[in-house]
Amino acid sequence: MHPPHDILGKEIVDYLPVGEGENVIKKIMMDSVDILENHPVNLNRVREGKNPGNSLWLWGQGKRPKIPKFRRNTA
Inform me whether the pLDDT recorded for 62 exceeds 90: no
Give residue 3's pLDDT.
Answer: 80
Per cent of the chain over pLDDT 70 is 93
Alpha-carbon span 3 to 47, nearest angstrom = 28
CB 55 within 8 A of CB 45: no
H or E stretch including 66? none
Inform me whether the pLDDT recorded for 23 exceeds 90: yes
Mean pLDDT in residue range 47-61: 88
Give backbone dihedrals phi and psi of 40, rounded to 5 degrees, phi first: -55, -35
Inform me whether the pLDDT recorded for 74 exceeds 70: no
Alpha-carbon span 1 to 38, nearest angstrom = 27
Inform me whether the pLDDT recorded for 67 exceeds 80: yes
